[in-house]
Amino acid sequence: MSSIRSLYLTASLLTILASLLFVETIGSAGMATWVRDNQLGDLEIQVDKGSTLARVSGTVWEEDGFSSAAIPSLYGRISGVDRRLKSGRYHFGPNWSPSQILEQLEIGSNAPLTVVLTPGSTLRQCAEKIESAGWIESSTDFIASTTGSNALLVSGRGTLEGLIAPETYFFEGKERTDEVVKTLHGQWISEIDTIAGTHELKARMRNGLSLYDTIILASLVEKEAANLIEMATVASVFHNRLRKNWPMGSVATIRYALHDWDRKENEIPVNLKSPFNTNRKPGLPPHPICSPSPAAIRAALYPPETPYLFFVADGEGGSTFNEKHEDHIRAARDYRKRARERSESK
């Protein structure tokens, strides 16, 4: 008796599958249920965790030009796609057939969102970009999660400034802020392990600094170097100043203290009372002022030996480096003169 029932169920299943194949075949010829209006163009949908195939079918088929979601939903249950449905963002072209759509839903997302965090970005700028891209709900919550006690739990420092990797990140939709922070800092750990051989911030590097101080110095190099080629020489200037216990003299640190103040250099308050004013006291600022690139970190780790203690923009996309203060003053005067002449000729 059980064998007869089994044969009956098998025959019924084959009949249903054959019917579905028949329907799709004639549908592709524009004659039956699975017919899509190609004038509707592309479709992008978000499949959340825990979504049912019935709900997704309703979104894709009924709202996107197919006359019924019942058949693909049934096919999904029979084929097991409903149990293997993956969350994420999907893109379906105007000529995708139902079977292609179901197959993609089983494979997984094919249209992740992206956000690009560029070298030199501050935590605040990263937070704004990430919120704008739709990865987090609130940039304010992100800042709160990357400073204070939350940052201490993640990195042992009071801020994650400089400790997230400037990279292109792919994501499927909004996530919890703490999960996003872990992803960003985790990518930094992976990259810094490759560059420096460790991610322990207290570890002593070959340049004589701790890894954390190296990252701080690299963030200054990232902001101050006129171009990639000069990063190593700029790093050597800062190292030379550290050895002499001189102030770093970085305008970029003052701009950071003033929340990326973008006014002209001759308007910058060089006497600003701030721990980030590296004109007032020797040594490095309390923490990094941005997320430095791998190139800037390598420059800070392995600076060349130079006699230079000063540098100033040359007005041609580079810098003029000098050992003596009087030569630096002369170079700065020449730069201002060229800048003034260029402005007057416009």
Query: Is the pLDDT higher at 147 or at 297?
Result: 297
Do the domain assignments include residue 216?
A: no
User: Does 42 share its domain with 143?
Assistant: no
Residue 232 tokens, joined? 């190593």
pTM: 0.76
How many CA atoms within 13 Å lie on the side-chain side of 52? 7
Last residue of some domain: 79, 107, 135? 107
Q: Which of 59-63, 220-224, 333-337 tops mean pLDDT?
A: 220-224
> Is the domain of 16 the same as that of 91?
yes
For 242-261, the pLDDT digits (tens) are 999 999 999 999 999 998 77
Select from 115, 142, 137 the least CA-distant residue to 127.
142
Q: What are phi and psi of 203, to 5 degrees?
A: -60, 140
Distance between CA 32 and CA 150 in Å, rounded? 57
Rounded Cα gap, residues 314 and 138, in angstroms:
41
- Local confidence band at 82 (pLDDT 50, 70, 90 cut-offs): low
Write out the residue range of the structural domain in which residue 151 sits: 113-196
Which pLDDT does position 275 carry in this prediction?
Answer: 93
pLDDT, mean of residues 61-79: 55
Question: Can you tell me the distance from the alpha carbon of 334 to that of 68, in angstroms, rounded to the nearest whole number?
Answer: 75
Same domain for 145 and 33: no
Picking from 41-50, 91-100, 161-170, which range would have the lowest pLDDT averaged per residue?
41-50
Alpha helices in the chain (DSSP H): 2-28, 53-57, 70-79, 98-107, 123-133, 139-145, 148-155, 177-196, 211-224, 231-243, 251-257, 294-301, 325-344
Alpha carbon distance 37, 22 (integer Å): 20
Residues 231 and 156 in one domain: no
% the chain with pLDDT above 70: 76
Asked whether residue 205 carries a pLDDT value surpassing 90, the answer given is: yes
Q: What is the CATH number of the domain that holds 75?
A: 3.30.1490.480
Whether residue 45 is contained in a domain is answered as yes
Residue matched to tokens 């190099």? 221
The pair phi, psi for residue 170, each rounded to 5°, is: -110, 135
The reply to whether 23 falls in a domain is: yes
pLDDT value for 98: 73
| 156 plus 243 within the same structural domain | no
Task: Choose the final residue of a domain: 107, 128, 151.
Answer: 107
Residues 55 and 89 both lie in one domain:
yes
Task: Indicate if 235 and 332 belong to the same structural domain.
Answer: yes
Of 39-48, 95-104, 279-288, least confident by mean pLDDT is: 39-48
Question: Residue 262: inside a domain, yes or no?
Answer: yes
SS3 content of the chain, % helix, strand, coil (to 5): 50, 10, 40
Length of the chain: 346
Is 50 exceeded by the pLDDT of residue 7? no
Q: Which of 196, 211, 238 is the last residue of a domain?
A: 196
Residues 173 and 101: their CA atoms lie apart, in Å, by 20
Q: Is residue 207 domain-resident?
A: no
Tens-place pLDDT, residues 32-65: 233 344 445 677 777 777 676 666 666 665 555 5
Q: How many domains does the chain have?
A: 3
Task: Select from 182, 203, 183 the least CA-distant residue to 193.
Answer: 203
CA count, 13 A, side-chain hemisphere, 155:
28
Spatial neighbors of 120 by CB under 8 A, at least 6 apart, are 166, 222, 223, 290, 291, 292, 293
Please check whether residues 100 and 178 belong to one and the same domain: no
Indicate whether 98 and 117 sit together in one domain. Answer: no
At residue 29, the pLDDT reads: 36
Q: Do 127 and 152 sit in the same domain of this protein?
A: yes
Please check whether residue 206 lies inside any domain of the structure: no
Residue 168 lies in a domain: yes
Residue at 209 is within a domain: no
Q: Which two tokens stand for residue 127?
A: 């937070």
Considering the domain architecture, whether residues 124 and 49 belong to the same structural domain is answered as: no
Domain check: are 60 and 167 in the same one?
no
Q: Which residues contact 95 (CB under 8 A, 6 or more apart)?
A: 38
How many angstroms from the chain centroid is the CA of residue 59?
A: 30
